[in-house]
């Protein structure tokens, strides 16, 4: 997968920008707050339909303007594709977004999987020791790009949980009878089981790839394990995939009064987590050093590239947003060695010395919304 050309109009701090890209490594150098990350953000929006930096599309439109655009031309399995995003600001100050894919207007859920990217940003280095929501988002984004149908499943599940939580609050306030939960529980059970099976399958494959990458980075000194943890499941409890609906039904009944009291659903994929261990079961979140945690995250990101390639037939585009300054020289070298000549990569950095070879990639210099090659 390759991005050939990007055009921006009134996007962030860019009035107008038109860039053609190398199919190898594209390096954007410059001081902070000049617009380097905005370019990566635009590419990420092309893949996911949303920013990774803000929840508000309105913030994407250049200051004091009412219309912003992103246009991308990319190759997928050697077929040319065009994507366009139009952000407009109405009287309500809320941005309206229109997505066009090869000339057809589509919704975000139809976009996922068209252009695949892997983002590695400084906040990802806290993936292991951070909150479970970040780890759930990591696996959901990865699977959704490889299997767009999963993204639809996830949207359906989230709607069910939202409706069930709304119902729980009404039951708690004595406005509805608890029997009203039955049909929603059945929908949740079916959706939860499907998502859990898909996540477990993906983690099994990802864990193998991550361990291979981790052994390469650490010169075979450590083994990395990644496991899927289901909320509400005992430490040594095992449930076969075919028995998940029965298990979820039992858990929902057991937690019903507690769910009503809290007004929220306490069991399901929205509560699950990933657990990372090294060697003989040492949990990285609680007992791993910062160096071990960062090495594990790097291995996980490299594994994510391989996972998407194995599922789709080609590598995704890699976005490295200001992450070079957060890695030591050895990890930077491992990362650059892995991606060079096989993965189209977009890198932002403030210092050219982070790159060991003068011809490591194609360099762009960014200053105040202007890009010079």
Please give the annotated binding residues for ATP, written as ranges: 30-37
Three-state DSSP string of 340-369: CCCCCEEEEECCHHHCCCCCCCEEEEEECC
Give one DSSP letter per residue of 222-250, joined into a string: --EEEEEE-TT--TT----GGGHHHHHHH
As annotated, the binding site includes: 30-37
In this structure, the strands spanning 362-367 and 25-29 are parallel
**Is the separation of the CB atoms in 7 and 71 below 8 Å?**
yes
CA-angle at 186, arms to 183 and 191, nearest 5° = 130
Sequential DSSP letters for 28-67: EE--TTSSHHHHHHHHHHHHHSS-SS-S-GGGGBPTT-SE
Q: Which helix (H) or strand (E) holds 6?
A: strand 2-11
For the chain, give the longest Cα–Cα distance.
70
Q: How far is residue 370's CA from residue 314's CA, in Å, rounded to a whole number?
A: 32
Interaxial angle between packed helices 132-146 and 181-217, expressed in degrees from 0 to 180 and rounded to the nearest 10 = 90
């Amino acid at each position: 997968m390759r991005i050939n050309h990007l055009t921006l109009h009134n996007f962030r701090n860019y009035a107008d920008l038109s860039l053609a890209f190398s199919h190898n490594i594209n390096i954007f150098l410059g001081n902070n707050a000049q617009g380097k990350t905005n370019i990566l953000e635009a590419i990420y929006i092309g893949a996911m339909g949303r920013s990774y930096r803000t929840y508000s599309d309105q913030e994407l439109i250049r200051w004091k303007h009412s219309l912003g655009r992103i246009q991308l031309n990319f190759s997928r399995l050697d077929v040319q594709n065009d994507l366009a995003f139009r952000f407009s600001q109405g009287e309500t100050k809320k941005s309206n977004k229109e997505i066009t894919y090869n000339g057809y207007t589509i919704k975000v859920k139809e976009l996922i999987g068209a252009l695949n990217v892997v983002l590695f940003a400084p906040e990802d280095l806290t993936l292991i020791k951070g909150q479970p929501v970040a780890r759930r988002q990591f696996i959901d984004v990865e699977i959704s790009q490889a299997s767009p149908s999963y993204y639809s499943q996830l949207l359906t599940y989230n709607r069910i949980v939202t409706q069930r939580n709304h119902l729980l609050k009404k039951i708690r306030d004595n406005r509805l009878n608890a029997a009203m939960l039955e049909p929603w529980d059945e929908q949740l059970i079916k959706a939860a089981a499907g998502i859990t099976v898909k996540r477990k399958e993906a983690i099994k494959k990802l864990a193998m790839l991550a361990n291979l990458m981790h052994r390469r980075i650490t010169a075979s000194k450590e083994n990395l394990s990644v496991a899927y943890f289901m909320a509400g499941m005992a430490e040594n409890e095992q449930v076969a995939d075919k028995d998940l609906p029965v298990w979820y039904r039992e858990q929902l009944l057991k937690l019903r009064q507690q769910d009503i009291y809290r007004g929220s659903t306490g069991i399901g994929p929205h509560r699950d987590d990933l657990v990372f261990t090294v060697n003989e079961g040492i949990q990285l979140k609680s007992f791993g050093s910062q160096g071990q945690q960062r090495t594990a995250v790097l291995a996980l990101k490299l594994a994510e590239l391989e996972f998407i390639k194995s599922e789709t037939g080609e590598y995704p585009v890699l976005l490295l947003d200001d992450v070079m300054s957060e890695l030591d020289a050895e990890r930077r070298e491992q990362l650059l060695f892995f991606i060079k000549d096989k993965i189209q990569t977009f890198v932002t950095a403030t210092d050219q010395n982070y790159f060991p070879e003068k011809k490591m990639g194609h360099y762009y210099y960014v200053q105040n919304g202007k890009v010079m090659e």
